[in-house]
Amino acid sequence: MKKILISACLLGQPVRYDGRSCPFDCSLINLWQAKGLLVPVCPEMGGGLPVPRPPAEITPGGGPGVWAGTARVRTRQADVTEFFIKGAQVALDKAVACGIKTAFLKQKSPSCGSCRIYDGSFSRSLVDGMGVTTALLRQNGILVFGEDQIDELPFKQI
């Protein structure tokens, strides 16, 4: 059966920067979880960041909200890009090891955002863009969807 990579915070795990989760209550996700088809990942923790941790945003490099080699991930005090790159690789390695071709990740995150992320100004402004993990997964042929895109998943039943 197909497995799906999912942001651990969407399953209720308290791994977000603020020590909270953001459980996604959806009958489809609940069914997949009951069947053991979900593979949780928190790229930020996988990259070595603690919980709690300062919020981070992607700062412009290739344009606002664009993850590119010139972009950086920063908290208000520090550059944390290396942790995000390492965490993205951990997520990709997990997906490859499990034969995963689809991911369901948390929107707006500098790791997991798939179409909207914070703009790097720490003003809570959103821009079109994707997080570090999403970019790496997509570069490796893995489809990535955010929680607001559940109806776009290529399969509804497994």
pLDDT > 70 in the chain, percent: 90
- The answer as to whether 66 is a domain residue is no
pLDDT in tens, 36-68: 999 999 999 999 999 999 999 998 765 444 455
In contact, 17 and 52? CB cutoff 8 Å = yes
- Host domain of residue 141: 4-53+84-113+130-152
Give me the number of domains the chain comprises.
1
Query: Token match 């995963």: residue?
Result: 100
- The answer as to whether 63 is a domain residue is no
- The answer as to whether 65 is a domain residue is no
- The answer as to whether 122 is a domain residue is no
d(CA 55, CA 127): 17
The pLDDT value given to residue 99:
96
- The answer as to whether 10 is a domain residue is yes
- The answer as to whether 72 is a domain residue is no
Residue type at position 32: W
- Crossing angle between the packed helical segments 81-97 and 132-139, to the nearest 10 degrees: 40
- The answer as to whether 27 is a domain residue is yes
- The answer as to whether 158 is a domain residue is no
pLDDT top residue among 66 and 72:
72
